[in-house]
């Protein structure tokens, strides 16, 4: 089996944990400074903090949430390709997807202008669509 095809998925999982740590390292101290009453700190969601915490702090949280969304399809596609005997092209596409998502994360977390972010998301989506089609073709 071509185990190296699993490396991009493992790398994206590690990147997701890096984003989680970055988010927590900024968000938790900011929350502590709010001195929020206990009744207001129960039952909420992270998105409830939009407008409460500064945007640049929330951007990391938004990106972490994004890494829990579309990349779930990527993980499934990589596993399918791994089991079906993916090719070198699949490996290159998988690494391209991961690279673009990392750049997207950094852009969203630091600069966060929408036209560039949307472009990066669109390119990564096209790469993922190509991988998904290749996974389908490898299994039929």
Phi, psi for residue 30 in degrees, rounded to 5 = -65, -40
- pLDDT interval class at 41 (50, 70, 90): low
CB atoms < 10 A from the CB of 130, how many? Answer: 16
Within the chain, residue ranges assigned H as helices are 7-34, 55-67, 71-84, 88-110, 114-139
Q: Cα(97)–Cα(91) distance, rounded to whole angstroms? A: 10
The percent of residues above 90 in pLDDT, for the chain, comes to: 80
Q: Is residue 25 scored above 80 in pLDDT?
A: yes
What's the pTM value of the predicted model, to 2 decimals?
A: 0.91
User: Is residue 16 within 8 Å of 101, Cβ to Cβ?
Assistant: no
What is 3-34+55-139's CATH topology?
1.20.120
What's the mean per-residue pLDDT of the chain? 92
User: Is residue 81 within 8 Å of 92, Cβ to Cβ?
Assistant: no
Q: How far is CA 127 from CA 51, 69, 97, 100, in A?
A: 34, 16, 6, 9
């Amino acid at each position: 089996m071509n185990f190296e095809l699993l490396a991009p998925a493992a790398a994206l999982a590690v990147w997701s944990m890096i984003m989680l740590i970055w988010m927590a390292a900024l968000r938790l101290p900011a929350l502590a400074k709010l001195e929020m009453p206990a009744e207001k700190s129960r039952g909420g969601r992270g998105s409830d903090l939009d407008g409460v915490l500064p945007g640049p702090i929330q951007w990391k949280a938004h990106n972490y949430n994004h890494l829990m969304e579309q990349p779930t399809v990527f993980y499934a596609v990589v596993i399918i390709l791994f089991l079906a005997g993916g090719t070198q092209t699949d490996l290159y596409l998988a690494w391209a997807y991961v690279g673009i998502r990392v750049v997207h994360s950094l852009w969203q977390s630091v600069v966060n202008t929408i036209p560039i972010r949307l472009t990066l998301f669109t390119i990564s989506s096209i790469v993922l669509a190509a991988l998904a089609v290749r996974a389908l073709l490898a299994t039929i």
